[in-house]
Amino acid sequence: MPKRILKKLSADPKKLKEHKHLKVFGVLLDKPNLWHMNRRSVSGAMAVGLFCAFIPLPSQMIIAAAFAILFNVNLPLSVAMVWLSNPITMPPLFYACYLLGAWLLNTPAQEFSFELSWEWISVSLANIWQPFLLGCLIAGILSSLLGYFGMRGFWRYAMIKKWRARNR
């Protein structure tokens, strides 16, 4: 069941190989495991994509593609999972990361408003970078672990259910 749903939602590998941002990877995109849907590949892609979603850089999708190639996991899914942090969800996610980092460093949280601009990065981020980056790292690690083990568990559950139905 998970494989069938994911195959319907995933893009055509030929089109993705010709994408302007993915062309930099060249022949590395010819690895067949980057396009397969199996338990290992999908759960690894969940982990890679969720970790990269918490990287506070505008090139999250390219980083996720590089990690997918490095770890030999499903490339389209790892890039798609990065969209957890989209322009709508980014401010609350990154604010929660900042609060988590401030709590872990035992520093008082400062009030600020998040803007995705160079001025905000150069002025405001200079005051909060340590708790912010620590919170992003911890949230990225925790979400990738939850995504990895959650997908492996869901995949196993679906396979057991399918086997039991077939045996009846």
pLDDT of residue 153: 94
- Assign 15 a pLDDT band (cuts: 50, 70, 90): low
What's the half-sphere exposure (Cβ side, CA atoms, 13 Å) at 65? 17
- Position with higher pLDDT, 156 vs 17: 156
- Cα–Cα distance measured from residue 94 to residue 126, given in angstroms and rounded to the nearest whole number: 15
Nearest one of 39, 5, 157 to 165, comparing CA atoms: 157
Give the amino acid at 13. Answer: P
Report yes or no on whether pTM surpasses 0.85: no
pLDDT of residue 14: 60
- Assign 134 a pLDDT band (cuts: 50, 70, 90): very high
Nearest one of 69, 61, 78 to 29, comparing CA atoms: 69
Residue ranges in the chain assigned as alpha helix (H): 2-9, 13-17, 39-53, 60-71, 75-81, 90-105, 118-123, 125-167
Average pLDDT (29-40) is 78
Q: For residue range 136-147, what is the model confidence (pLDDT) as tens digits?
A: 999 999 999 999
Hunting for tokens 């319907």 — which residue is that?
8
The token pair that represents 148 in the structure block: 């990895």
Nearest one of 64, 73, 3 to 35, comparing CA atoms: 73
Give the amino acid at 1. Answer: M
pLDDT surpassing 80 at residue 45: yes
Average pLDDT (48-66) is 91
Average pLDDT (71-92) is 89
